[in-house]
Amino acid sequence: MPGDPEEARKMKTKKKRRSRILAAEVIGALAVAVMLMVLTTSLITENGAKYVALTRVNLKPEDVTFTKVKLEDVGSDAYYAVEFQRGDRNYYFQIDAVEGIIKEFRIVRVQDRIAEIPA
């Protein structure tokens, strides 16, 4: 019935519920957008990761050949895997992508790697 007060109340309740759902979806989308913006703007760059690695071993970009510079994501940790070679040494770094600190670092001589390969 068009003038039924019960029907009018149900329609009004339905509209309120839709408005609340829409508001929650918009707020959720905004929260995700802000979170992504914070994550992407607070990471160091690939060049920043290279700089950290090179500074640690007192080398310059022209002294080395980069073999890998890649942003890795393991769970909630983001880091750069930075690898380069100079002479008979390979350098391996894991650099925290947010703080720019070295998480892991090792140098391997090429002869040592060859010796590790089973015959």
Domain that holds residue 104: 46-116
In this predicted structure, the answer to whether residue 90 has a pLDDT above a threshold of 70 is yes
Phi/psi region, residue 76 (left: phi>0; alpha: psi -120 to 50; beta: rest), is alpha
pLDDT digits (tens, 9 = 90+) for 5-52: 888 888 888 888 887 887 778 777 777 766 666 555 578 999 999 999
CATH of the domain at 79: 3.10.450.40
111 and 53 together in one domain: yes
29 and 75 together in one domain: no
The residue type at 18: R
pTM of the model: 0.60
